[in-house]
């Protein structure tokens, strides 16, 4: 009972500190957020975290050097794991979520437009005589390899791998794997072109 109370108190303390830290503006705010998350993780982060951003369960999130996280992003690995490669960048209001389970692995120099959703889990909805709300979830890993550009308002669903050097058009919903060096658009996303990178 005492351990349970202590864990609840610790989580509440974290949420209070995070709520204060996330709204401090300017370079001082960025520095304070770096210090705060570095202390919680027990590892120094060379990252930029803008105002309004929440990071849940930092202990199961690895963020490499040079990552930039824009305003009002939400990153949650409560039930899973998240890895963010060097120099990846998130525009505002991105939602990166493995809270139910699974892994999200982002390569180096992956860039996200605003309001991108990356989520490992979906609701079960086919159990007879059971509401969707009470049917639980299923989840699968998501991998986005190096040098990808994920357009604004895109959705990346569980079980998807996006190959290196690919571009996902704005508003796309990615439900299947995308090969390397591809441009994919639409709902569901389909490859419309291969990218010929010049040497």
* pLDDT reported for residue 133: 83
Asked if residue 180 belongs to a domain, the reply is: yes
Residue 20 lies in a domain: yes
Closest CA to 63 of 53, 151, 19: 53
The answer to whether residue 86 sits within a structural domain is: yes
Q: What is the pLDDT of residue 2?
A: 75
- Residues whose CB falls within 8 Å of the CB of residue 138, separated by 6 or more in sequence, listed in order: 121, 122, 124, 158
Question: Residue 40 is part of a domain; what is its CATH number?
Answer: 2.160.10.10
Report, as ranges of residue numbers, the positions in the chain whose pLDDT lies below 70: 198-199
> pTM of the entire structure?
0.89
Range of the domain at 68: 2-194
Residue 123 annotated in active site: yes
Distant-in-sequence, close-in-space partners of 32: CB < 8 Å, separation ≥ 6: 21, 24
Please report whether residue 199 resides in a domain. Answer: no
Residue among 43, 59, 123, 194 flagged as catalytic: 123
Residue 133 in any domain: the answer is: yes
pLDDT for 59? 86
């Amino acid at each position: 009972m005492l351990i349970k109370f202590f864990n609840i108190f610790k989580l509440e303390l974290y949420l209070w500190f995070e709520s204060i830290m996330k709204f401090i503006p300017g370079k001082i705010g960025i520095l304070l957020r770096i210090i705060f998350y570095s202390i919680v993780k027990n590892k120094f982060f060379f990252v930029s975290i803008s105002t309004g951003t929440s990071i849940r369960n930092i202990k199961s999130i690895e963020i490499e050097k040079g990552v930039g996280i824009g305003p009002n992003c939400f990153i949650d690995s409560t039930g899973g794991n998240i890895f963010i490669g060097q120099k990846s960048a998130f525009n505002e209001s991105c939602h990166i979520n493995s809270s139910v389970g699974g892994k999200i692995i982002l390569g180096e120099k992956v860039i996200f437009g605003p309001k991108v959703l990356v989520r490992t889990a979906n609701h079960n909805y086919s159990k007879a005589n059971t509401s969707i709300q009470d049917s639980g979830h299923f989840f699968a890993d998501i991998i986005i390899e190096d040098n990808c550009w994920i357009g604004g308002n895109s959705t990346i669903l569980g079980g998807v791998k996006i190959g290196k050097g690919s571009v996902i058009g704005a508003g796309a919903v990615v439900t299947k794997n995308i090969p390397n060096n591809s441009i994919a658009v639409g709902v569901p996303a389909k490859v419309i072109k291969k990218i010929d990178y010049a040497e």
